[in-house]
């Protein structure tokens, strides 16, 4: 029998088998899931259709501890950054990006990150711990409650590497996707990975149509090794093979994220390598502005590429038949943009 300590650590299936192990009828799991992830209540007391004895047992053996909103910052562009305190005192950041037609949430999958990419603030403090599935879903629920509207898109692009916490991230996406829970369409749920090859291959086999984004940043091996030193054992050739497999298995188009840094990965040599990597691959290249942090070592030694380079590189790729977009950065004035989240470093 499972040994529960927190209710938010369970997947949908895990929760079903826990309640069956406890001798509960099968429909109880649906009731509990509804309260946790559709009604999104903060305590077992509010789960009025669960028998009192079950509520007490859950309280004792699988406590429900809701995240606390410790801080909230509003950007001039309308995006919001939330600082959340978790049951063990860990801190994470979540970003909401509302527009008139949709609400996107950028959620964290870990507290900190072990990968330590050279340009990313999240990696500075290392990994504190991985998040439970329910702790990822809770980030969407917090935003949804605060803004009084449903979440239409969710992207695992906050703190952490989702594929270094694969099972929990997939379980979270399934709760988000479940039509009786958050009901967010699979194509509106995106995982961003720094490029862990075995997990990309595994993701290709999953039945849902979740969206994949891969942080490439450079198609020159020596540059990528400099930017993403933890991935030097996963050479670019293997990464490309895994993307070919992904395209073959799913027929879907992953995006390749390239954060442009002046004189690092925006040179003619880099652009030729990016072209060679992406040509013949089902993919969409996103060019992203580099965000400097506000710490004393802001920028971590890197500078953003000038805007003109974005247009030049995009034009070169498109002329060669590679789909390419230039992404606007949101929330940089509240340190809420890509690579600036650092909840673990607050306390």
* Catalytic-residue membership of 93: yes
Residues within window 125-154 making contact with ligand SF4, judged by CB under 6 A: none
Tell me how far apart the alpha carbons of residues 213 and 191 are, in angstroms, rounded to a whole number.
6
Residue tagged active-site, from 93, 159, 161, 257: 93
Taking CB under 6 A as the criterion, the residue among 7, 115, 170, 216 binding ligand SF4 is 115
Q: Which is nearer to ligand SAH, 9 or 265 (CB)?
A: 265
Both tokens of 180, joined, read 């009786």
Task: Give yes or no for residue 117 binding ligand SF4 (CB under 6 A).
Answer: yes
Neighbouring-strand partners of residue 103: 98
> What is residue 37's DSSP assignment?
H
Cβ atoms of 106 and 157 within 8 Å: the answer is yes
Taking CB under 6 A as the criterion, the residue among 135, 161, 257, 266 binding ligand SF4 is 161
* Catalytic-residue membership of 338: yes
Binding site for ligand SAH (CB under 6 A): 119-120, 157, 161, 192-194, 215, 257, 259, 288, 290-291, 338-339
Task: Give yes or no for residue 122 binding ligand SF4 (CB under 6 A).
Answer: yes
Cβ atoms of 246 and 254 within 8 Å: the answer is yes
Name the segment binding ligand SF4 (CB under 6 A); options: 115-123, 243-251, 263-271, 285-293: 115-123
Both tokens of 170, joined, read 């997939």
Q: Site map for ligand SF4, 69-108, x if CB under 6 A?
A: ----------------------------------------
Half-sphere exposure of 262 (CA within 13 A, CB side): 12
Taking CB under 6 A as the criterion, the residue among 123, 133, 162, 293 binding ligand SF4 is 123
Task: Give yes or no for residue 177 binding ligand SF4 (CB under 6 A).
Answer: no
Cβ atoms of 117 and 194 within 8 Å: the answer is yes
Please report how close the Cβ of residue 164 comes to ligand SAH at its closest, in angstroms: 8
Both tokens of 178, joined, read 């479940």
User: How many residues form the binding site for ligand SF4 (CB under 6 A)?
Assistant: 11
Both tokens of 335, joined, read 């340190």
217: left (phi over 0), alpha (psi -120 to 50) or beta: left
Please report how close the Cβ of residue 234 comes to ligand SF4 at its closest, in angstroms: 12
Tell me how far apart the alpha carbons of residues 3 and 13 are, in angstroms, rounded to a whole number.
15
Helix (H), strand (E) at residue 312: helix 307-319
Residue tagged active-site, from 113, 194, 283, 338: 338
| Sites of contact with ligand SF4 (CB under 6 A) | 113, 115-117, 120, 122-123, 160-161, 194, 215
């Amino acid at each position: 029998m499972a040994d529960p300590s927190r209710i938010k650590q369970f997947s949908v299936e895990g929760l079903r088998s826990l309640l069956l192990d406890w001798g509960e009828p099968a429909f109880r799991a649906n009731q509990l899931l509804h309260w946790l992830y559709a009604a999104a209540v903060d305590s077992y007391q509010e789960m009025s259709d669960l028998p009192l004895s079950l509520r007490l047992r859950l309280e004792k053996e699988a406590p429900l501890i809701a995240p606390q909103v410790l801080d909230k910052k509003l950007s001039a562009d309308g995006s919001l950054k939330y600082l959340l305190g978790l049951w063990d005192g860990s801190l994470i950041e979540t970003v909401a990006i509302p527009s008139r037609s949709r609400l996107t949430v950028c959620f964290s999958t870990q507290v900190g990150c072990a990968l330590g990419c050279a340009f990313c603030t999240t990696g500075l403090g290392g990994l504190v711990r991985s998040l439970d599935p329910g702790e990822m879903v809770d980030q969407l629920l917090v935003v949804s409650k605060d803004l009084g509207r449903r979440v239409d898109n969710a992207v695992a692009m906050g703190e952490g590497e989702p594929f270094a916490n694969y099972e929990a991230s997939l379980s979270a996406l399934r709760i988000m996707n479940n039509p009786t829970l958050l009901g967010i369409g699979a194509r509106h749920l995106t995982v961003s990975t720094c490029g862990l090859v075995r997990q990309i291959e595994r993701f290709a086999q999953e039945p849902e149509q979740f969206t994949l984004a891969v942080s490439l940043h450079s198609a020159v091996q020596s540059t990528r090794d400099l930017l993403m030193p933890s991935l030097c054992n996963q050479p670019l050739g293997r990464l490309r093979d895994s993307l070919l497999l992904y395209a073959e298995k799913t027929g879907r188009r992953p995006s390749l994220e390239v954060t442009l840094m002046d004189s690092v990965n925006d040179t003619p040599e880099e652009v030729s390598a990016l072209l060679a990597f992406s040509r013949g691959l089902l993919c969409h290249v996103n060019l992203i502005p580099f965000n400097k942090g506000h710490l004393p070592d802001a920028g971590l030694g890197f500078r953003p590429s000038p805007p003109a380079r974005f247009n030049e590189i995009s034009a070169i790729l498109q002329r060669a038949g590679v789909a390419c977009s230039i992404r606007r950065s949101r929330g940089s004035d509240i340190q809420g943009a890509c690579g600036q989240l650092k909840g673990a470093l607050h306390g």
